[in-house]
Amino acid sequence: MQVLRTYREGNPILARIACLLGGAVWGVFWIPLRNLDEAGISGAWSTALFHGIPLLLLLPILFLRTPRLGSSSISFHLVGFTMGSSLVLYSTAFLYTDVVRVVALYYLTPIWGAILGRIWLKERISGDRIVGICLGLAGMLVILNVDQGFPMPQNVGDWMAIAGGIIWAIAATLMRQNSQADPLSTLMFWFFWCTLLAVLLAFLMQRDYGLPDIGIIQNELPWLVPLILLIVVPGYFAITWGTPQLNPGTSGLLLMTEISVGTLTAAWLTTEIIGLREIAGIVLISLAGLSEILLPMMRRVLHLKGAR
């Protein structure tokens, strides 16, 4: 009963944890996409497959819930469209520019989110949030070894990464504005629009490659379906549940755990070596995600010591 009440009413601390876990799931996003690419399902087609499978699995639930959505289905479509657009732009940008540039430019999201939260939702940008944004950006730049200046946009992939980050901030703001929306319905519309937009993008930008081979897809299903059910759906659900409860800048900051997890998994599963620079960046990003919890605690401790 307590779990159901928390699910419906929300909890700011658990919402932060949910976004941290959701970002962690995104941090391993590259692994199945790389496997699909090596199998012959590349680019936007792999993104479409990765989100189309959970959509098909959840489709019966969508049909059962549709009559209850009523007029609110428009807002769900709008949120799903922005979330889907952001993820498709982000995942496709890797085809047209360097990984470092995609991550650095996309993860300006906390800045866009804080600005939109202030203008759109009239939420104050606290000093703790500013500190967190600075720590997160510093950690990102340390990990990505951007020692020759910030990577300004130079090609279509760079602009896709920037656009994806801005659109995600808009999606987070829309979810915050409609914070009572059912996260499961949001999740299903997210999968729907991500799949549809990825297919459209694949036809527009990868028409020379043709459709993926059905036989290859069938060969990948034995590992892909369990992965989606056990990791992808829970991770994405954590984002749709936690994001509406937080300021868009805060949720964007917490999702930066993707960078830390991505760095660690790349070091573990590839020939990339993790050194002091990567460790320092991971620590900074971790502190950024916890800044709005740790800083108030530190002030209370200092206040108690001063009172003594």
CA atoms within 13 A on the CB side of 181: 33
> Which of these, 44, 166, 47, 23, lies nearest to 105 by C-alpha position?
166
* Average pLDDT over all residues of the chain: 82
How far, in Å, CA of 84 to CA of 164, rounded? 10
pLDDT at 1: 45
> Which of these, 242, 176, 282, lies nearest to 17 by C-alpha position?
242
pLDDT (tens digit per residue) in 31-49: 888 888 888 887 788 889 9
- Would you call 307 helix, strand, or coil by DSSP? helix
The arithmetic mean of pLDDT across residues 71-96, rounded, is: 85
Q: Kindly give the residue spans of alpha helices, DSSP state H, lying in the chain.
A: 2-9, 12-27, 30-39, 43-69, 73-93, 99-106, 109-120, 127-143, 156-177, 183-205, 214-227, 233-242, 248-254, 257-269, 276-307
Angle between helices 276-307 and 127-143 (to 10 degrees): 160
pLDDT of 273 above 70: no
The arithmetic mean of pLDDT across residues 50-72, rounded, is: 75
pLDDT at 3: 46
Identify any residues that bridge with 147 across adjacent strands, giving them in sequence order: 149
Angle between helices 257-269 and 276-307 (to 10 degrees): 140
44 to 57, 179, 247, 273: CA distances (angstroms): 20, 30, 30, 29
Region for residue 212 given its phi and psi (left: phi exceeds 0; alpha: psi -120 to 50; beta: otherwise): beta
How far, in Å, CA of 23 to CA of 46, rounded? 20
CB 54 within 8 A of CB 233: yes
> Which of these, 229, 259, 266, lies nearest to 103 by C-alpha position?
259
Tokens 């600075």 identify what position?
134
How far, in Å, CA of 179 to CA of 4, rounded? 17
pLDDT of 5 above 70: no
pTM (predicted TM-score):
0.84
How far, in Å, CA of 164 to CA of 109, rounded? 9
pLDDT (tens digit per residue) in 182-201: 888 889 889 999 999 999 98
How far, in Å, CA of 247 to CA of 77, rounded? 21
pLDDT at 267: 77
Categorize the per-residue pLDDT at 150 as very low, low, confident or very high, splitting at 50, 70 and 90.
low
- Would you call 186 helix, strand, or coil by DSSP? helix
CB 289 within 8 A of CB 254: yes
How far, in Å, CA of 109 to CA of 249, rounded? 7
